[in-house]
Amino acid sequence: MTVFKRFVGKRVLVTGAGTGFGSAIARRAGLEGARVGVHYYSSEAGAERTAQQIRDMGAEASIFQADISSWDAVKAMAEACFDEFGGLDVLVNNVGDIATEQMSWRDVTQELVDRVIDVDIKGTLYMIHEFGTRMMEQDEGGAIVNIGSTVVVRGSPRAPQYAAGKYGVMALTKSYARAFAPKVRVSAFAPGFMATESTVSREDWNTGRREAITAATPAGRVPTPDDLAVPALFLATPEASHMIGSYVIADGGRSTVGA
């Protein structure tokens, strides 16, 4: 498959890039020529692995650690990133807490609600605000891609707080898109189910849910993170310059949203 070098000379930071979809996005950005910032909170070994894979491709990679639910930690990471890279062209806000261990709405607790809201809404806001403010000061501006979810269409009977968190991401995307346009483009990419490590290890995934999801998806398959890293990064390219405040769904047709 031909790899188009869409990010040669660009500086890209991906949050939650130690594992899963974040790692796939970071690796793809490196494959396409970017200098990549690999953020992690607790998965240091995963971040090191992702960074080394990027370096093995011949690209540059730096690692940044922060708890994005802390505004002070986000400020510190923004300063460190801009100092090391001399600026930033693309931010991908991939981090999101999906309460993986929760199997039913009956299992909701205040701790789980607080954890998801702190990361998905507060953390995303802090990241957009701090990094976007600095991008606005650059001559070349920048692009921010927030990773959303199709739960904004279908809801989540398993984890309602997760759906609420992703609705919050949609609102933040539209709000900052209008605030920052046209210098910094803010948009969101919403994947459906992916065969990530955390998904395929879940109890419900291995007791019939995988088959049910596949059967309900017109594309007839559940994609890997690598499959969806390419369209996610498209939103940060010049070709997507008129896509501002967009919420782009890529779920194999499962949601089939109308006008």
pLDDT digits (tens, 9 = 90+) for 107-144: 889 988 999 999 999 999 999 999 999 999 999 999 99
Distant-in-sequence, close-in-space partners of 37: CB < 8 Å, separation ≥ 6: 11, 12, 13, 14, 61, 62, 63, 64, 81, 84, 85, 88
Burial of 215 (0-12, 13-18, 19+ CB in 10 A): exposed
pLDDT, tens digit, for every residue of 89-109? 999 999 987 666 767 778 889
Quick one: tokens of 201? 């290890």
For the segment 185-203, the average pLDDT, to the nearest whole number, is 82
For the segment 195-220, the average pLDDT, to the nearest whole number, is 77
pTM (global) more than 0.85: yes
| Residues identified as active-site | 162
215: confidence class by pLDDT, cuts 50, 70, 90: confident
Which 3 state secondary structure label does DSSP give 198? helix
259: confidence class by pLDDT, cuts 50, 70, 90: very low
pLDDT score of 258 more than 60? no
